Chains A and B, each alone.
Chain A
Amino acid sequence: MTAVTVQDRPPIHERTLLQQSLTVVWRNLLHIRRMPEMLLDVTIQPVMFVLLFAYVFGGSISVQGTTYREFLLPGIMAQTMVFSSAIVALGLNSDLEKGIVDRFKSLPISRASVLVGRSLSSLIHSSIGIVVMGVTGLAVGWRIREGFANAVLAYLLLLLFGFSMIWLGIWVGSMLRSVEAVNGFMFTVMFPLTFVANTFAPPEDMPSWLRVVAEWNPVSALTAACRELWGNGPGALPDAQWPMHHPVVASIGWSIIFTAVFAPLALLAFRRRSRD
């Protein structure tokens, strides 16, 4: 038994927020390695969605000017980014419940590193989903048709939107008291948010009041932006709502609005949760 005594304390070096956050990312990624089933939501699940919609519903939904499979892919990618908020909420809530956040907070590190690390790993998590879906999409006939720069811009929009949704995740994850509650809440919000939109079916065929809702849905803006930038879809009909005519600007706008609304709420809830 060799003891590390108080006399020889190890050299503690202050690390930057980024270094600390990356350590938290390393830890979160180890979780995925230990529980690969955590990736189901960004691998099997979206692939299943692609296949189900492409082959089961696809036949009965007609889209102007393109195939349903091309139309579908941007929608499912947008859906995956929205679900990134659920990933954050579940991970953060479980860390709070298990006292891991308390452990981190008792260390001489920046408290933001817990959140930044959680956000970064969630974006990595969702990006895996985007890649998996891209490959699946290519296999069923989806193509990028508008050049490299536009393709990259679409991916950046997806990440930006995912970033803004992370704040919603932090807010919900800090507010609710159990993983089950987070699960219930997130799926109750996520499903209407991603289905009452242009993701899986063109809103033109919806009742007119619902069509307005769907076209103002931020997820629709993101989906329409990706379709425009990848060349996957019909342009907006003349009678469509404003965001459908300016989807790139609209999805940037929605991302900024979400961040502006949810980031303060999230930080407040996290701070309150971790004060008492």
Chain B
Amino acid sequence: MATQPAVEAIDLVKQFGTNRAVDGVSFVVPEGTVLGLLGPNGAGKTTTVRMLTTLSVPTSGTGRVAGHDVIKDPAAVRRSMGLTGQSATIDELLTGRENIRLIGRLYGLPTSYLRKLADELLERFLLADAADRIAKTYSGGMRRRLDLAVSLVASPPVLFLDEPTTGLDPRSRADLWEVLRGLVRDGTTLLLTTQYLEEADHLADEIIVIDKGKVIAAGTPTQLKDEAGRAAVVITVSSEADLPRAAELLRRHTAEVHVEEVSRRLTAPASGLSDMTRIAGVFAESGIDIDDLGLKRPSLDDVFLHLTGHRAEDELDTETPTGQEALR
């Protein structure tokens, strides 16, 4: 078959009572790419994923996974995708190996194949040493890795990850990102939801920002950042005494200069890399010692603030304890 999108959301709506949790969400995820569904808690990310993975029936609209309609042919959808839910849905009383065997048996995989596959997955997700310990004894990061390993038992071409790193320490998060990048290299299509702007920035080819059940922005991480504001060049001079001279020098090349005396830092708008190299050249000639010079693009944090008028992190405080649940 020609290149059909791996995932399509077509005007998805989910109504709970009077609350429209998802209110007309549409997007397309091309095969082999990563889509980041970004939004604060309660934005409708999980509900969207639940509808696309056939766990929840849309109030209206539909979705397609690997070309199969989630309403008309849910069985085919389930054969084509894997899901790593919000709280690690592994069986705590089973060992890591048994968790994989359980799911493999339900898929009807041959025993000998399954035995080999379990070893392979445990090895790949750095769980070989803990393979025969019950999952209750696993750390948060190990649970997430096992959860992911279980989702990959049938090597699904499309993988849904609902907040895969919520509640993880930075180290475990970085490990998991590495694993996910490996999957993408092998051709898997990923749709991941996240509240972490950094995560979407790191992993996603394309980001959909949703807030209150609606798509409020879409684009590549770079496009979204460009939308939020222009880049700036940031220079830190070595000596405070040089600040006035440096500011004077910058002013000749850019419209405005912002000086921060305490940190010996100067900021000026720059349209891109060429502006930055030009300014770097000017400073090299001037003989002013500088500690650091760089281009600062607006972060996705700024993007979110720009789009919604509130910061994404604000919502984290009132979060339901999904992260803790995963660690329980």
Contact = CB atoms under 8 A, between A and B. Distances in A.
Contacts of B154: 9-10, 12
Contacts of A210: none
B186 A3 contact: yes
A122 to B, nearest CB: 16
A12 B108 contact: yes
B148 interface: no
A66 B5 CA distance: 76
B10 to A, nearest CB: 20
B105 interface: yes
Contact of B98 (A7, A30, A99, A108): A30
A122 B87 CA distance: 26
A239 interface: no
A6 B189 CA distance: 10
B164 interface: no
A149 interface: no
Most buried by A among B54, B105, B134: B105
Contact of B106 (A31, A104, A274): A104
A2 B125 CA distance: 11
Interface residues of B, number: 48
A34 B134 contact: yes
B279 to A, nearest CB: 43
B75 A108 contact: yes
B85 A108 contact: no
B161 to A, nearest CB: 12
Contacts of B75: 108
A22 to B, nearest CB: 9
A10 B111 CA distance: 12
Nearest to B102: A27
Contact of B87 (A1, A98, A276): A98
Contacts of B107: 10, 12-13, 107-109
A105 interface: yes
In the complex, which of the residues B16, B79, B102, B187 has the most CB atoms of chain A within 10 Å of its own CB atom?
B102
B113 A10 contact: yes
B91 interface: yes
A103 B150 CA distance: 10
Interface in A1-57: 1-15, 19-20, 23, 26-27, 30-31, 34-35
Given A11-B110, A275-B56, A4 B89 contact: no
Interface in A155-209: none
Contacts of A102: 55, 83, 85, 89
A76 to B, nearest CB: 29
A106 interface: yes
A186 to B, nearest CB: 21
A19 B120 CA distance: 25
Contacts of A105: 54-55
A106 B83 contact: yes
A115 to B, nearest CB: 14
Nearest to A14: B108
B182 interface: yes
B182 A103 contact: no
Contacts of A261: none
A113 B108 CA distance: 14
Interface in B57-106: 57, 75, 78-79, 81-83, 85-87, 89-94, 98, 102-103, 105-106
Given A3-B124, A5-B155, A274-B55, A11 B109 contact: yes
Interface string A245-276: 00000000000000000000000000000111
17 contacts: A5-B155, A6-B157, A6-B188, A10-B107, A13-B109, A19-B108, A23-B106, A27-B94, A27-B98, A99-B89, A100-B91, A103-B85, A103-B150, A105-B54, A106-B55, A107-B107, A276-B56
Interface of A: 1-15, 19-20, 23, 26-27, 30-31, 34-35, 98-100, 102-109, 113, 274-276
Interface of B: 16, 50, 53-57, 75, 78-79, 81-83, 85-87, 89-94, 98, 102-103, 105-110, 113, 117, 120-121, 123-124, 134, 150, 152-155, 157, 182, 186-188
List 9 A-B pairs, minimum CB-CB distance, nearest first.
Answer: A13-B108, A99-B89, A108-B78, A103-B89, A106-B83, A15-B108, A34-B93, A108-B79, A6-B187
